[in-house]
Amino acid sequence: WPEAWMMCDDDKIEDQKKENRQDPNAKITAADMRKLGISFWKMDADTFTYPVKAVPWDPKDAVDPRLSQLRDDRGYSYADIITIHPDHLPGFDAKIKAFFEEHIHDAEEIRYILDGSGYFDVRDPNDKWVRVHIKKGDLMTLPEGIYHRFTCDETDYIKAMRLFKGQPVWTPFNRPQEEHPSRKAYVTEFMEEKK
C-alpha cells in the first residue's frame, strides 16, 4: 500500500505539492484506507506497456493478465493515459489547480500509475484530509462519492492510466454535493457510525 498521512490544515498549505504533514506526523495505515473504501493493487508497470492507440481497449492487447482481470471484474471498457507534466499537458497550471478542487464523481475513480508519482487527498470520516502518495506500479480505486482532490508532488510528473465504463467522460462535482445520490451512498456505506 502507498504511504499515507494526515495533512496539516488547508490554511497552513503554502505549496500543495509539498508533503504537508501534520506535526507530529500521523500515519495512515492500509486498514485505515480500506475503511474509507479505497482499494489497492501493486502492479508491474515495467513489463506492462499499454497499447495507447488501441482505444477502446481491445482485449487481445492487454498483456498483463492481472490488469485484464481487474478490468473485466469491474466492467471497464475504455482506457486512456494521461501524462501530467509541464511539457506534456497543455494548460498544466490551470489543470493542476482544477484537479485540486475538492470534488466527487458518480462512479469509482481508478488510476494505474505507470510512471512518476503524485498525491491523492481524500477526506476521512472527521472531514480531515488524508494524503496518499501514489507512485509507479500503484493501482488504486477511490469509491464513488468520496470527497477527494489530486496534485502532482514536487517532481511535477505522473503518468497514469484511467479506466472508464463506456465513454471517457469524467465529470467532477465540486463540493458541496450533500444531496448528490453518489455522496449519499458513500456517507451511508462508509461514514455513518464510523466517526
Residue 56 CB: number of other CB atoms within 10 A?
12
Q: Is 103 annotated as a binding residue?
A: yes
Binding residues among 71-90 for ligand KMT as defined by CB under 6 A = 82, 84
| 160: partner contacted, choices Ni ion, ligand KMT, none (Cβ within 5-8 A by kind) | ligand KMT
Nearest to 108 by CA among 61, 62, 71, 135: 71
Q: Among the candidate windows 41-49, 69-77, 156-164, 173-181, which touches ligand KMT by CB under 6 A?
A: 156-164
**Residue 192: all three cell numbers together:** 455513518
Q: Is the dihedral of CA 12, 147, 88, 111 positive or negative?
A: positive
Please report, for residues 18, 71, 100, 120, the alpha-carbon distance to residue 3 in angstroms, rounded to integers and kept in the order given: 14, 25, 19, 11
Give yes or no for residue 132 binding ligand KMT (CB under 6 A). no
Among 79, 158, 163, 191, binds ligand KMT (CB under 6 A): 158
Only one residue has cell 495505515, namely 29
CA distance 113 to 43: 9
Q: Is 133 a known ligand-binding residue?
A: no
Q: Which residue stretch of 19-27, 70-78, 155-163, 173-181 sits at the interface with ligand KMT (rule: CB under 6 A)?
A: 155-163
Q: Which of residues 79-138 bind Ni ion (CB under 5 A)?
A: 109
Q: Is 109 labelled as part of a ligand binding site?
A: yes
Q: Specify binding-site residues for Ni(2+).
A: 103, 105, 109, 148
Give residues in contact with Ni ion (CB under 5 A): 109
